[in-house]
Amino acid sequence: MVGYPESLSDPSYRGQILVMTNPLIGNYGVHTDLLESDGVQVTSLIIHELTDAPHRSSKLSLQEWFDKYDVPIMEWVDTRALTKELRERGVMKGAIGIWDSEEDLNSLLKALEGAPSYDELDLVDEVSPREAIHLSDSRPLVAVIDCGLKLGIVRELLRRGLGVVRLPCSSSADDVWETEPDALLLGNGPGNPELLKSQGEMAVELAYDGLVTLGICLGHQLISLGLGAETYKMKYGHRGQNKPVRDLRTGRCYVTSQNHGYAVRRESLREANLREWFINPDDSTLEGTYHEELPIATTQFHPESSPGPMDTSWVFDLFAEAVREGRWRL
Amino acid sequence: METVRKVLLIGSGAIKVAEAAEFDYSGSQAIKALKEEGIEVVLVNPNVATIQTGDMADRVYLLPIRKEFLERVIEAERPDGIMLGFGGQTALDAGVSLWRSGTLDKYGVRVLGTQPEAIDRALNREKFKEALERNGVPMPPSRHVSSVEEAVEAADSIGYPVMVRVSYNLGGRGSFIAWSREEMMALILRALKASSIGSALVEKYLGGWKEIEFEVVRDTYGNVIAPACLENADPMGVHTGESVVVAPCQTLTNQEYQMLRSASLRVAEAMGLVGEGNVQFALGDEYYAIEMNPRMSRSSALASKATGYPLAYVAAKLALGYRLDEILNRVTGATCSCFEPSLDYVVVKIPRWDLEKFEGVERSIGSEMKSIGEVMAIGRNLAEAMQKGLRMLGRFDGLPMEGDPSEALKALRERRPYWPAWASIALAGGVSAEEVAEASGVDIWFIKELEKAVRVYSRLDTSPSSLYAAKRYGFSDAQIAKKLRVSEDQVRRLRKSQGISPVFKQIDTLAAEWPSITNYLYATYGGQTHDVRPGADVLVIGAGVFRIGVSVEFDWGVVEFARAAKEYVDTVAIVNYNPETVSTDWDLVDRLYFEELTLERLLDIYEFESPVKVVTFLGGQVANDLAEPLESRGVDVLGTSGSNVEVAESRDRFSQLLDELGLRQPPWKEVNSVEEALDFAMEHGYPVMVRPSHVLSGTSMSLAWDEGSLRQAVRSALSTGRSVVVSKFLRGPEAEIDGVADGDSVIGVVIRHIEPAGIHSGDSTMVLPARGLPVDEMKEAALKLIRALQIKGPFNLQFVINGGGVYVLELNLRASRSMPFSSKASGVNLARAAAKVVFEGSLGVDEFYEPAMLHYAVKSPQFSWSQLRGAYPYLGVEMRSTGEVASMDRAYEAALLKSWLAVSPNRMPERGVVVGYEGVREERGKMEAAADTLASMLDVWWMSEVGEEEAMELLKEGRADMVIATGYAPQVDYAVRRLAADLNIPLVLNADLALELARAFNAVSLEEVEIKPMSSYARGYRSMGLLRKIPP
């Protein structure tokens, strides 16, 4: 519906062909500030129809923006039918091409077959910064492990007066300590979580050493894995800005932005000394945890939304408070 | 929470401008939600044409929605809970007054859902503003005023232009924009009068800003979500009921959307909303909250249909204390209600106006609602939805491509109705999108989307890619045929040979992300695969958009028939597109096609579902007109055969049939010139009725009393390009039969009108049973006709009784407007009887069966004079009422009185009555008798004696609180009738009705009238089932 510039600039979609279910995309162009990264992240976009009109806040049309990054848009696809396929089969490999003959088509199919699978791609390397980026030196300072982090998360931290340093995804615990942080944030990113398992373990280690830690989306999964919990592929992934979560401490229900095809297994939390914080009432999958002893809390959904409802931005208030007090009040 | 056992639900009363069938839908959903919990439901609603006043609730009271009646129902029923949020502003106001007066406390009745304190806060703009500002939601600078002086002072300080909004009003009534101090002075008094507390708000005018609405749902635990965002394509300054509304919001960025969404949640919190509400915003460089409805509204009904999220059902559950995440999403059957639907389609709502029916009414649209109905269209792009919507209005073939572009620009600037049509004329005529956007005030995105369609049409040829593009942008076969200069059937064949057909997609609330069990469907060319497999056995065609003459009464028939059909076949489908209705509730039947009622689309559905049987006799004239074209293309249409329907509709053949059967009819002649008409009048005498041949529901009919008016009437009727029928107008009482026939016998009800022939039956007060008329002769005529025409299904036969003789006026072979009334009053559900006929073949009765009645039932028309500013209130051969109510009692006078009082703004006159135009000679005696009768209770002023000025003073000062007048005489009493309408003073517009009412006022006191549920009068209606036990 709204928020396509945010989604298309979300590094979590790196290496992916994104299919949008809303049939009209491009309605208000692209405002090039306040994006989730510095440009188009998707490999391609499949939509039903591209639209265009000047909007007071837009700098470029969607087409112009994609042209700038040389990324193709495929139009006039029955994206609803395609969504139904994807919903049953999960993430699939895809290729976009133009063909006039059977031969062309076959060579396209062959190329697709030969392409590496999404799980094998090291996409993090493409989106993670090469070196530390100091965004604000205020104290307390949050070290953010950036494996393809959405800038919306960083903005939420800055908005609360926290210092922020973005670190490469491959950072070691020592690299983190070198920035003298007061807290740690492990956020979202593209690709197969298995390839980043070590970063989860590192986060746990840092939390043991006293860093207040927040995990978001991929970060939630990595930290859970690092603590010994398990993940699994869901029957139907959660992708959209309209997903409910229930805060099990208060019983309150919120509408959130979510983008995940894997979930942490609820039954495996006990062994990891994790407690359930949020669940999705639709399918009872886990949407957030906190640790019984360590200063760790995580959300599977995106409390920064961007795009999406801001109903759970209070998670960052809690985090800011935790950072200042040295512990989560959960 | 305490368990609730019995709930009183308040309906919205008659349909009027700004309060229509959306409250039948929301009330029905609420009843469904309550019955699921095993709660006893008592409904008060005099709107006899609704589905909710059928057999859904445990007890239904057809009574005025006013404190004194509600109190007596509470006393009799002793409910432990009351719901105020499902009957529009009428129910809310009535509920607040019950709360204020302590009645609810007295009887220990708990308000379920949003509490009265909160309702009061939301409706009082000062309190509302205070609460919002405390919660960080800005409102436009404004000041509350309760006098002319205060208003002018406030406007001067805010600076012109200012918006004046009435506190405690209905559909924005009385609200206006003042561009200058002079305008303020001219209009403020009426605004203050329209408020039930005599106050108004003067605020900063935000004309030209975007208007965005959010539907909000909140539970008692504070969980709050916004399931729908509606974007008004018309700018601020145009009432949302008058706007083209699009869902989801199309032109907002994420930041804008989330800012407003979050604000809407804060508004709900600030108001203490429990259940459903609607928050409206103005968005420019900044934003303001404009208002909030703490109840189901027209917009929420639209939002329910647009998103698939059942707002009313959920609101009712929340009022009972459920948590949002405990309520199942019934569309998926798997997910919970604490989510916000994602839409993979575009919805367009377009209002329909009938302004040409009203003499003197203002023709431009603005801050007051004047539209009568609305349509909702679904497509995969804006043009597809918009073109569908324009066709659904019954006024366009789609976006018009021909016309004068400068005239179109002028129309856009003047805010004339139907801007999309003017926009496309302008675009097709070469005007730039920017200029159209500027003239209309509509965001350029919408205009550019329409421009795409205009461009496709201009390049249209017979190539597959060109045809497919045209279909994707919503062009009908008929539009394409016009451009390619071939027939519509040829276009259909051509595109089908190219494999171009629509696909049927589901509305599933989550854009296919989860499997869903819904069969809520629409057709589109924006896709390659169907979401469902064919499987319907019966397809019932709905009534489409409401307009003068077509309203909820036809929806009643569609719904009752569809329910009955379920007892005979497996899969029942409905096609309809009116978002206000129960028939477009997707869990009513097995399959809902939210689609156009055009031949093209019905053939699409038929071809997809074939073999399926189609029912056309319930959805009024629009559906009925489809019977023959469908049948001639091989579709199996249930009921009376199309060729016999043709006989009834062809004046010539029907007249011949009447002659053959020995039935009398007024003399008539088809003429092609004024001279022929004058000859006819010479032979038969005046008055003469004039109408174009093939006329629908009184449209363009007129009555000529002398040569001058006959010349004028015939000339104007001939200008339509068709021949004209003139007939001798016979004076006398009018009567009609509502019935169902099986080709041999009839179940029917004879109805008498209080107003004489010459007043449209839809505007007449109807009485059952019809005493004092040659009823047997009418029944005999009916039997002859149904046997001759082999009528199998519903029919309506109209008579005039002249000089003791019965004359047949017309026969309609379809469900009539009065059928819900005649069914409920008599206890025989005629829509169900129609199902019995088509599925069983026989009614199982002999000859003419009319149920015996030991009570009286009276149905009164509801007019919307006060909403239709400037319109001259009068009754005639064309219908002008917008709704109806009914009541029953063992005494005729009591039934009449209750029914009349259930019409807004009627109330018992207490001080005086102004008698306006006294009518032609025949009526004068009755007016005098009425005045004499009233004189024992009231002061009576004849306008012919006191003069117009004095009469108006009496009304303004409140010394007269009723006006009676008859006939048509704007030159005599326009100002007086209009003033009464503007001041919400009851208007009685016919001498016969005035006399009957005067007698009723005299004969009964309000304390004596019966307060009894409908079932205590007409026991049969609920228990009758499919008529298997009808006595011989």
**Cβ pair A253:B338 closer than 8 A:** yes
Q: Which chain B residues are closer than 8 Å to A302 by Cβ?
A: none
Tell me the CATH number for domain B891-1008: 3.40.50.1380
Q: Please determine, for residue A7, whether its predicted confidence score (pLDDT) is greater than 90.
A: yes
Closest chain B residue to A33, measured at CA: B255
Mean pLDDT, rounded, for B630-652: 88
> pLDDT tens across B129-161, in order?
899 999 999 998 888 899 999 999 999 999 888
DSSP code, position A116 = P
What is the value of pTM for the model shown?
0.94
The answer to whether B286 contacts chain A (CB < 8 Å) is no
Q: Read off the pLDDT band of B168 (50, 70, 90).
A: low
B222 lies within 8 A of chain A by CB:
yes
Among A210-224, B163-177, B283-297, B758-772, the minimum mean pLDDT is found in B163-177
- Tell me the CATH number for domain B668-728: 3.30.1490.20
Which of residues B1032 and B440 earns the better pLDDT score? B440
What are the sequence ranges of the domains in chain A? 4-115, 124-325
Res. B1 pLDDT band, cuts 50 70 90? low
Does A53 sit within 8 Å of B325, measured CB to CB? no
Confidence of residue B284 (pLDDT cuts 50, 70, 90): very high
C-beta atoms of A2 and B325 within 8 A: no
Contacts of A79 in chain B (CB under 8 A): 344
Could you say which of A2, A242, A252 has the minimum Cβ distance to residue B252? A2
Q: Nearest CB to A239: which of B262, B334, B513? A: B513
Residues A180-205, mean pLDDT to the nearest whole number: 92
Within a 13 Å sphere around the CA of A112, how many CA atoms are in the beta-carbon half? 12
What is the C-alpha separation between A257 and A303, in angstroms, rounded? 7
The pLDDT tens digits for B371-417 are 999 999 999 999 999 999 999 999 999 999 999 999 999 999 999 99
Interface membership of A109 toward B (CB under 8 Å):
no
pLDDT band at B1029 (very low <50, low <70, confident <90, very high): very low
Asked if the C-beta of A31 comes within 8 angstroms of chain B's C-beta atoms, the answer is: yes
Residue B342 to residue A52, Cβ atoms within 8 A: no
Contact check, Cβ <8 Å, B513/A236: yes
Tell me the residues of chain A between 204 and 243 that have a Cβ less than 8 Å away from chain B: 236, 239-243
Closest residue of B to A252, CA-based?
B223
Partners of A83 on chain B (C-beta within 8 Å) are: 344, 511-513
User: Which residues does chain A have within 8 Å of residue B340's beta carbon, measured at their own beta carbons?
Assistant: 241-242, 255, 309
Pick from B822, B771, B984, B1001: nearest CA to B898? B1001
CB pairs < 8 Å spanning A and B: 155
pLDDT value, residue A34: 84
Which chain A residues are closer than 8 Å to B518 by Cβ? none
Q: Which fold has domain B6-112?
A: Rossmann fold (3.40.50)
- At B68 the three-state DSSP class reads helix
B332-361: per-residue pLDDT in tens? 777 889 999 999 999 999 999 999 888 888
Place B1025 in a pLDDT band, splitting at 50, 70 and 90: very low
Query: Domain B648-662+730-855 maps to which CATH number in 3.30.470.20, 3.40.1390.10, 3.40.50.80, 2.30.40.10?
Result: 3.30.470.20
Range of lowest pLDDT (A80-89, B108-117, B634-643): B634-643
Task: Establish whether A147 is a catalytic residue.
Answer: no
Q: Is the separation of the CB atoms in B780 and B799 below 8 Å?
A: no
Q: Give the tokens for residue B255.
A: 């930041």
Do A252 and B448 lie within an 8 Å CB cutoff? no
Q: Establish if A59 touches chain B: CB-CB under 8 angstroms.
A: no
Cis (ω within 30 of 0) for the bond into B1031? no
Does A281 contact B at CB distance below 8 Å?
yes
Question: For residue B593, what are the CA distances in angstroms to B32, B527, B539?
Answer: 22, 17, 9
Contact residues, chain A, for B464 at CB < 8 Å: none
What pLDDT score was predicted for residue A236?
A: 85
More confident residue, A296 or B198: A296
Q: Does A28 sit within 8 Å of B253, measured CB to CB?
A: yes
pLDDT value of residue B361: 86
pLDDT, averaged across chain B? 92
Which pLDDT band holds residue B641 (cuts at 50, 70, 90)? Answer: confident
Task: Output the CA–CA distances (angstroms, integers) from residue B232 to A53, A187, B240, B396, B441, in the order listed.
Answer: 17, 38, 7, 21, 11
Level-2 CATH architecture, domain A124-325: 3-Layer(aba) Sandwich (3.40)
Please check the confidence at residue B647 and state whether its pLDDT lies above 90.
no
SS3 call for B633 = coil
- Residue among B249, B253, B443 whose CB faces A31 most closely: B253
**Mean pLDDT over each residue of chain A, to the nearest integer:** 93
Q: Over 90: is that where the pLDDT of B433 sits?
A: yes
Question: Which band of pLDDT confidence, cut at 50, 70 and 90, is reported for residue B472?
Answer: very high
User: Based on the number of CB atoms within 10 Å of its own CB, is B38 exposed (0-12), middle (13-18) or buried (19 or more)?
Assistant: exposed
Considering only the beta carbons, identify the residue of B325, B342, B346 that sits closest to A281.
B325
Task: Give the per-residue pLDDT at B278.
Answer: 95
Residue B254 is nearest to which of A6, A22, A255, comparing CB atoms?
A: A6
Strand ranges across the sheet with B346-352: B287-293, B275-283, B210-218, B224-232, B245-247, B346-352, B373-379
Q: Which residues of A touch B339 (CB under 8 A)?
A: 242-244, 255, 282
Instruction: Kindly indicate the confidence band of residue B427, based on its pLDDT and cuts at 50, 70 and 90.
Output: very high
pLDDT digits (tens, 9 = 90+) for A238-281: 999 999 999 999 999 999 999 998 999 999 999 999 999 999 99
Looking at residue B719, its pLDDT comes to: 82
- Give contacts of A 120-149 with B, CB under 8 A: none
**What pLDDT score was predicted for residue B173?**
66
Burial class (CB in 10 A: 0-12, 13-18, 19+), A266: middle
| Burial state string for A223-243 with b = 16 or more CB within 10 A and e = fewer than 16 | bbbbbebebeeeebbbbbbbb
Residues on chain B touching A48 (C-beta within 8 angstroms): 380-381, 526
B514–A contact, CB cutoff 8 A: yes
A22 min Cα distance to partner chain B (Å): 4
In B, which residues are within 8 Å of A53 by CB distance?
251, 443-445, 448
Distance from CA of B225 to the nearest CA of A (A): 7
Mean pLDDT of B916-933: 93
pLDDT tens string B691-740 = 877 654 556 788 898 999 999 999 988 887 778 889 999 999 999 999 99
Work out the pLDDT band at B768, boundaries 50, 70, 90. very high
* Distances from the Cα of B73 to the Cα of B67, B90, B821, angstroms: 10, 17, 22
Please list the residue range(s) of chain B that carry CATH number 3.30.1490.20. Answer: 141-205, 668-728
**What's the rounded Cα separation, in Å, for the pair A306 and A314?**
14
**Facing B381 at nearest CB: one of A24, A55, A81:** A24
Does residue B993 carry a pLDDT above 90?
A: yes
Give percent above pLDDT 70 in chain B.
97
Pairing of the two strands B724-728 and B520-524: unpaired
Option in B250, B381, B512 nearest A80 (CB):
B512
> Over 70: is that where the pLDDT of B1022 sits?
no
Q: Which of A217, A220, A238, A291 is catalytic?
A: A217
Assess B339–A contact: CB distance below 8 Å, yes or no.
yes
Which of B513, B516, B531 has the highest number of chain A CBs within 10 A, making it the mutation to test binding with A? Answer: B513
Residues of B in contact with A5 (CB under 8 A): 253-254
Rg of chain A on CA atoms, in Å: 20
pLDDT the model gives residue B755 = 97
**Second CATH level (architecture) for the domain A4-115:** 3-Layer(bba) Sandwich (3.50)
The CATH fold assigned to B530-636 is Rossmann fold (3.40.50)
State whether CATH 1.10.1030.10 applies to domain B347-503: yes
User: Is A178 annotated in the active site?
Assistant: no
Instruction: In whole angstroms, give the CA distance from residue B277 to residue B273.
Output: 7
Tell whether the model's pLDDT for residue B1028 goes beyond 50: no
Distance from CA of B251 to the nearest CA of A (A): 6
- Hey, is the C-beta of B338 within 8 angstroms of any chain A C-beta? yes
Reply yes or no on whether the pLDDT at B171 is more than 90. no
Range B500-504 average pLDDT: 98
- What pLDDT is stored for residue B800 in this prediction? 96
Reduced 3-state DSSP string for B804-865: CEEEEEEEECCCCCCHHHHHHHHCCCHHHHHHHHHHHCCCCCCCEECCCCCCEEEEEEECCC
Contacts of B255 in chain A (CB under 8 A): 34, 57
Name the strand (E) or helix (H) holding A207.
helix A197-208
Please tell me the least confidently modeled range out of A154-158, B141-145, B229-233, B397-401: B141-145
In DSSP notation, B131-143 reads: HHHHTT-----EE
In the residue annotation, A55 being an active-site residue is answered as: no
Answer yes or no: is pLDDT of B1024 > 60: no
Assigned CATH topology for domain B141-205: Dna Ligase; domain 1 (3.30.1490)
Q: Given an 8 Å threshold on Cβ–Cβ distance, is A3 in contact with B254? A: yes
Above 80 in pLDDT, residue A138?
yes
